[in-house]
Amino acid sequence: MRIRIVDAFADRPFTGNPAGVLLLDDVFPDDDWLQNVAMEVNHAETAFAHPLPEGGDADWALRWFTPVTEVAMCGHATLATAHVLHTTGAHEGPVRFATRSGVLIATPGADGSLTLDFPTAPLTPAELPAGVAEALGAQPLAAFDTGPGIGDLLVELADEKTVLGLSPDHKALGAYSARGLIATARAEEPARGYDYVSRCFFPNVGIDEDPVTGSAHTALAPYWSPRLGSDDLTGLQASRRTGLVRTGLRGARTLLTGHAVTVIEGDLRA
C-alpha cells in the first residue's frame, strides 16, 4: 500500500510537524501491525484511515499512533490525512472522520489551507505540582488542567523569551500529566504574525518535544482568546521546525487552520 509523509501546519517542506499517512481499503488491521508501522515511521504520529459506507455520520474512520502508543486525538495527523485525501482525489470537499474523540471535520479553503473542527478542551485552574518548575527549568505564572481528552498540564510562563529558551528534563515532566506539558506565553511582537507562542513536551507518549501540536491548540485557544480579546488568533509553536496554527474559538468547538505539504511517497511492503 502507499505510505506518505506529510508536513502539517507547514507551507513548505521540513517545517511543521511530519506525520505518516496510510489510506486503507477496508477495516483496520490488528493493533500490533498498526503500532509496528508507527514505530517504523517514527514520527510523532502515523494516521491510518479507511472509507466508511455512504449515508453515515462520517466518511472515513481514523486512528493515530505515536511510535509507542495509540492516542485519542491528534490535530496535525488529521490535517495530514485530509491533505492526502484531497490531493489524491480520494475525497472532495469537507471530510468527516470517525475517531475516538467523536466526529472531526476537515474543510478545505480556497487558499489551499485546511480547517479542522475539534472539541474545545475544558480548562480547569490547577495548583502547580511540586517539582514542575525544576523539571521545566522556569517558574510558571499559572497552571491549568486540559481535561481527559487532551491530558496535558498547560502552564503560562513570563514571556516569549522564556518559552523559547526552555531546556526541560523530559523524563521528569512525565510525572505531572497523562500526556505531557504545554508551555505558553504572549507574543512579544504580535506584528510578526502570531499572538502567542507555545512548546509541547509529551514524554508519556514517546515524544520529548512535539514540533507542532494541533490538539494542544484546542486548549491554547480558550486560554488566550479571552485574555487577548479575540476569538480568532494565530499561535506559533516554537519548536526547532516551527509552525503556525490559526485558531478560532467557537464555544464548545475550536477551529484549527493550517497548510500541509507531502514530502515523501512510497510503498509499504510489510
Catalytic positions are 45
Nearest to 27, CA basis, from 77, 98, 118, 88: 98
Q: Are the C-beta atoms of residues 136 and 166 closer than 8 Å to each other?
A: yes
Question: 236 is written with which cell numbers?
Answer: 506559533
Distances (CA, A) of 10 to 94, 211, 244: 20, 11, 7
Strand partners for 63 = 48
Distance, in Å, from the CA atom of 26 to the CA atom of 49, rounded to the nearest integer, reads: 9
Question: Which helix (H) or strand (E) segment is 254 a member of?
Answer: strand 253-258
Report the greatest alpha carbon distance in the chain: 53
Distance, in Å, from the CA atom of 7 to the CA atom of 47, rounded to the nearest integer, reads: 13
Distances (CA, A) of 91 to 10, 25, 50, 104, 121: 21, 14, 12, 15, 28
Q: Are the C-beta atoms of residues 7 and 16 closer than 8 Å to each other?
A: yes
Angle at 166 between CA 18 and CA 228, to 5 degrees: 80
Contacts of 191 (CB under 8 A, 6+ apart): none
Classify the C-alpha dihedral 116-152-28-13 as positive or negative: positive
